[in-house]
Structure 1
Amino acid sequence: MTMSPARTPHIARQLRRGGVLLAAAALALGLSGCGASTPEPAASPAGAAPAAPVEMRVGAEPGAAGVPDVEIYADYACHWCAAMDIAVSDYLDRAVADDAISLRYHPVAILGGADSLSRNGVAVAGCVADADVTAFPAFHNAMFHAQDPDNMRDIPVSEMLTFAENAGVLDMDGVRSCVQAGTYLPWAEAQAELARTQPLPGTGSPLKSVPTILVNGEAYSGSPLEVNELRAFIESHAS
């Protein structure tokens, strides 16, 4: 996906400077996010719901007393998602390691159809999570940290498999078999359709843009690039 200069506030340069300064209009997720505006992917075959991978959740057990439940919806082809992950992943990783949050990832292919980075990324993510959900965050982060948010590129499946191996997944034979069989391609399509058409839990509306962050079901409306702002929002839901 290519970004025009008019839309892109030179995200990567701002991140490298250490202080992201965005125009006020860009701070709202509904404006700064990547919208679901591309053609629908091909429909999955009729019949039973496609097989789903394990829940992509790490950190504390969901529902633990005083622990915020954080959910992140992101598309691997989204430049704002890449910028957000680069900005906040260290904080989220520490919070997970400390069991300070329960974090669930929702990779969703709302930006592309068949053979796209969006769809293939979600399908490979499902295989990685099934093989080793504890290694999933490192894989997820690698998918974004390999990008320049100002100049997004395609990532071939072979490189995604390298990310999985570097993340520490031990059963790489299983991941490769899963990917080669296209095990989670139908699920990737189905998840995208659900996200576009069905209300997200606790929000009352479908996914309109990515990244979207929910904490205890409440949508975060601040800057996705300001880690201190996000931390404050998450910690305000600890009780």
Structure 2
Amino acid sequence: MSSRVKSKQANQVVRAQLAREERKRRLRMITLIAGALIVIAGFIGWGIASAQRSTKAQTPTGASSDGVGLIVGGNGGKAKVELYVDFMCPHCKTFEESAAGTLDEMMSSGRAEVIMHPVAYLDDASTTDFSTRASAAAACASDGGKLNEFSKALFAQQPAEGGPGLSDAELITIGRGVGLGDDFAQCVSDKKYVTWVSKVTNAASERGVRGTPTVYVDGKAVEATVQALTAAVNAAQ
């Protein structure tokens, strides 16, 4: 065999060996990249799951059966009265002041169960998202068994539109004034129910609630007046 042929064969062996080494190198690289992608995907999935857990709406104590309302009182009342209110809404304050006594009587006599849906339609009416923070504080008050007292006191000190609203410290002071303590204060400071308020607001919009106050009696919308409310509850007895 000539030296030229031997040299050619040797070169072929070397090229084949180099090709095998290159394939092995590429395979190792592909394996490493695939492994890295799996790890990255795992971290992304974990991060998404963690974010979902952290933003999941916690349900307040005393929530209604659908989870998007707060039972004010009158469990088992013959009529079911639902109130959609925004603590920044002047009309809600007017309705509360006129209807509070009637609602209290309806609850104490067992004529009606009253459920409040605190929504946040008017966050843009303050510079600090007061509607959301106030509704979240109402949920904290529900935890402490003082929702009715707190909501009345909060409406009594309703801030003017266009300003900062009340601070968290001021909300806590109002709560302490109706007998709520450190747990309430911590709940407000932690903004525990802010995500829940978004859930309530979205549910209200899906139901067709376009403004506040909105009143339902046994699932039917009624005019937000004492007269219309009383007539609807009387009809349900």
Q: TM-score, normalised on structure 1?
A: 0.66
Whether the 8 Å contact between 1:124 and 1:179 is mirrored in structure 2 is yes
Matched residue type, 1:181? D
Whether the 8 Å contact between 2:117 and 2:200 is mirrored in structure 1 is no
Matched residue type, 2:133? N
Are 1:126 and 2:139 an aligned pair? yes
- Residue in structure 1 matched with residue 45 of structure 2 by the alignment: none
Q: CA RMSD in A?
A: 2.2
Choose which of 208, 215, 218 in structure 1 pairs with 2:217.
Answer: 215
Change (3 A) 1:159 1:97: farther
2: CA distance between counterparts of 1:85 and 1:138?
A: 12
Higher helix proportion (structure 1 or 2): 2
Shift, 1:146, TM fit: 2.2
Shift, 1:237, TM fit: 1.7
Is 211-220 or 183-192 further displaced after alignment? 183-192
Matched residue type, 2:191? G
Deviations 1:80-104 (A, max 9, x none): 1111111111111122122221111
Query: What is the SS of the residue equivalent to 2:116?
Result: strand
2: CA distance between counterparts of 1:234 and 1:168?
A: 31
Deviations 1:177-201 (A, max 9, x none): 11122211111223222322x22xx
2: CA distance between counterparts of 1:161 and 1:129?
A: 14
2: CA distance between counterparts of 1:167 and 1:98?
A: 23
User: Within 5 A, what are the aligned runs for 1:1-239?
Assistant: 46=52, 49-54=56-61, 55=63, 56-62=70-76, 67-112=78-123, 115-132=128-145, 135-147=146-158, 152=161, 154-169=165-180, 172-196=181-205, 198-199=206-207, 206-220=208-222, 222=223, 224=224, 226-238=225-237
Query: What is the SS of the residue equivalent to 2:229?
Result: helix
2: CA distance between counterparts of 1:99 and 1:82?
A: 24
Query: What is the SS of the residue equivalent to 2:115?
Result: strand
Query: What is the SS of the residue equivalent to 1:209?
Result: coil
Query: Which one has more relative contact order, counting CA pairs under 8 Å at least 6 apart?
Result: 1
Change (3 A) 1:58 1:77: closer
Percent identity between the two aligned chains: 24
* Rg larger for: 2
For these two proteins, the number of residue pairs brought into alignment is: 175
- Residue in structure 1 matched with residue 66 of structure 2 by the alignment: none
2: CA distance between counterparts of 1:182 and 1:211?
A: 24
Q: TM-score, normalised on structure 2?
A: 0.67
Whether the 8 Å contact between 1:85 and 1:145 is mirrored in structure 2 is no
Whether the 8 Å contact between 1:125 and 1:140 is mirrored in structure 2 is yes
Matched residue type, 1:178? C
2: CA distance between counterparts of 1:111 and 1:185?
A: 14
Q: Point out where structure 2 has 5 or more consecutive residues left out of the alignment.
A: 1-50, 64-69
Deviations 1:183-223 (A, max 9, x none): 11111223222322x22xxxxxx221111111110110x3x
Whether the 8 Å contact between 2:79 and 2:217 is mirrored in structure 1 is yes
